[in-house]
Amino acid sequence: MTTAYQHLRELHRDAALVKSVGALLAWDQETYMPAGGAAIRAEQSATLATIAHAKATDPRIADLLDECEGHSPLVGDRNSPEARNLHEMRRDYDRATRLPATLVAELARVGSQSQQAWKDARERSDFEAFRPWLEKTLELTREKARCWGAPEGGELYDALIEEYEPGARAAEIERVFTPLGERLSSLVAELLDRGTPPNDAPLKIEIPAERQHAFGLRVLESIGFDLRTGRLDTTTHPFCEGVAPGDTRLTTRYRESSWTDALFGTLHEGGHGLYEQGVPKGENFGEPLGEAVSLGIHESQSRLWENLVGRSREFWQWAQPIAAKTLGDEVGRFSVDELYGAVNLVRRSFIRVEADEATYNLHVMLRFEIERSLVRGDLSPADVPSAWNARFEELFKVPVPDDKRGCLQDVHWSFGLIGYFPTYTLGNLNSAQLWERITADLPDLSQMIARGEFAPLLGWLRERVHAPGRRWTPPELIERLTGRPLSADPLFDYLSTKLRPLYGL
């Protein structure tokens, strides 16, 4: 029986090797591939997706799963690593075999073509140029959801959410998002209408991209990202690609007129990268035990390092002299408190990835509403800009100036990543709840961060969040680590406790 389990692991590794080549092609398309390579890249991506799908749906996997599941030493303890590994392998196999190979190939092909079309359309702020690709991507994504089927009592959109956040349902997410959105809207109004904003002068300094890059690398190394097994490059929309064991790629983007955008983008992707470097891929490559549990947990890691660490006063106690040396005297002339206040400024801004903590989740909720309506058929792709602009103005009280800063700002729809967006706010909720537990377990954490000692924090996350892989479901993991189900209260309490004093309230 041990032989059957080992054979099963080997088949998963074979499939993962092919997927890793596809991941490398996707990274290259987003970073260094010349525009002229887009057409053949679509064919390459489709071919690799077909091969990977064939390996993931190999009938031998079903036979081996049957054999292993009937062997009590492997599955007798339902919480053992082997039993959980087999449970997740079965889930993955059942979902993969419901998708026709032709659909998988077409999703990969269109996703590659659509991504290039989105990049061009975004640059010109021309939604109509992207609309045919959104229509095609949406129909393929709906077909994928229909193959998986809506869960009992759920909706088609739930089948797509399941791909990114197992067990999550749109109706449950809405029940959390709606009151949270109302509380955040009230907090933002209170801060902007009654408070005194911090000085934004530190944000207005122009810093050359090469200096920003050097500062970002210094921060990444300090928090524990291993640049011997990772790298940092530039792209249109920042992302992290965990290609394979020993190969984690980060990307960011630079604006000389807004140096903190790149810093927080780098910290965000660095949090993803630390998770990718922390899961046990070496010994479990291609297996559930060697993979992140969900995007909601993945996002908790990126948002934790970006915000709970990077926007803390303690972080700037450590970072201010380094920033002064790396970025120049223009930054060095500002005090720790001035930098801390500036990076926590609340604004009604257009771009999600550049948004402050208080308004960020409103961006997520907007896209969640739009894409859920698209999947239901309540909204036509042609009407996305008008629906987006109207809802944005309701939430943020400012009109959207153009499509580039509106519905074309994010890359996700071009890849068919529909159902992904709720995980951003779930990540914020998870990070705040985890932070309460972390600070209780590490009572000297503030002083550690102020000294640039990030290893104890990373060690806590490595042991409790990264190392288990997919051994626990997202709700199980959060409850095991924090002692209670996921709640919106820690996030709101953290934001109000930090921001009200900064605004003199």
Query: Counting Cβ atoms within 10 Å, is residue 14 exposed (0-12), middle (13-18) or buried (19+)?
Result: middle
CA-based nearest residue to 354, from 460, 254, 493: 254
Within this chain, do residues 212 and 304 fall inside the same structural domain, yes or no? Answer: yes
Q: How far apart are CA 155 and CA 163, in angstroms?
A: 14
Question: Residue 478: its pLDDT value, please?
Answer: 97
Within this chain, do residues 405 and 462 fall inside the same structural domain, yes or no? Answer: yes
Whole-prediction pTM: 0.94
Domain that holds residue 117: 2-149
Within this chain, do residues 238 and 270 fall inside the same structural domain, yes or no? Answer: yes
Angle at 453 between CA 452 and CA 459, to 5 degrees: 140
CB 117, CB 109: distance < 8 Å: no
Q: What is the 3-state secondary structure (H, E, C) of 392-407?
A: HHHHHCCCCCCCCCCC
State which of 93, 116, 149 marks the end of a domain: 149
Query: Sign (positive/negative) of CA torsion 359, 363, 364, 366?
Result: positive
Phi, psi of 254 (to 5 degrees): -120, 135
Within this chain, do residues 236 and 265 fall inside the same structural domain, yes or no? Answer: yes
Within this chain, do residues 144 and 246 fall inside the same structural domain, yes or no? Answer: no
For tokens 């003199």, the residue is 504
- Give domain status of residue 161, yes or no: no
Question: Residue 1: its pLDDT value, please?
Answer: 53
CA-based nearest residue to 130, from 481, 324, 403, 471: 403
Could you tell me the two tokens for 260?
Answer: 């903190």
Question: Residue 315: its pLDDT value, please?
Answer: 98
List, as one string, the DSSP characters of 309-362: ITTSHHHHHHHHHHHHHHH-HHHHTS-HHHHHHHTT-----S-GGG--HHHHHH
State which of 149, 179, 206 marks the end of a domain: 149
Question: Residue 452: its pLDDT value, please?
Answer: 98
Which residues are CB-contacts of 475 (< 8 A; sequence separation ≥ 6)?
Answer: 167, 485, 486
Question: Residue 333: its pLDDT value, please?
Answer: 95
SS3 165: coil
Q: How far apart are CA 426 and CA 429, in angstroms?
A: 5
Q: How far apart are CA 378 and CA 388, in angstroms?
A: 14
- Give domain status of residue 134, yes or no: yes
Within this chain, do residues 195 and 118 fall inside the same structural domain, yes or no? Answer: no
- Give domain status of residue 164, yes or no: no
Catalytic residues: 269
SS3 98: coil
DSSP state of 456: H
Within this chain, do residues 468 and 345 fall inside the same structural domain, yes or no? Answer: yes
Residues in the chain predicted with pLDDT less than 70, given as ranges, are 1-2
- Give domain status of residue 155, yes or no: no
Q: How far apart are CA 363 and CA 349, in angstroms?
A: 9
CB 301, CB 465: distance < 8 Å: yes
- Give domain status of residue 156, yes or no: no
SS3 179: helix
Within this chain, do residues 139 and 254 fall inside the same structural domain, yes or no? Answer: no
Within this chain, do residues 43 and 102 fall inside the same structural domain, yes or no? Answer: yes
CB 93, CB 57: distance < 8 Å: yes
Query: What element of type H or E holds 232?
Result: strand 230-234
- Give domain status of residue 165, yes or no: no
Q: How many domains does the chain have?
A: 2
- Give domain status of residue 64, yes or no: yes
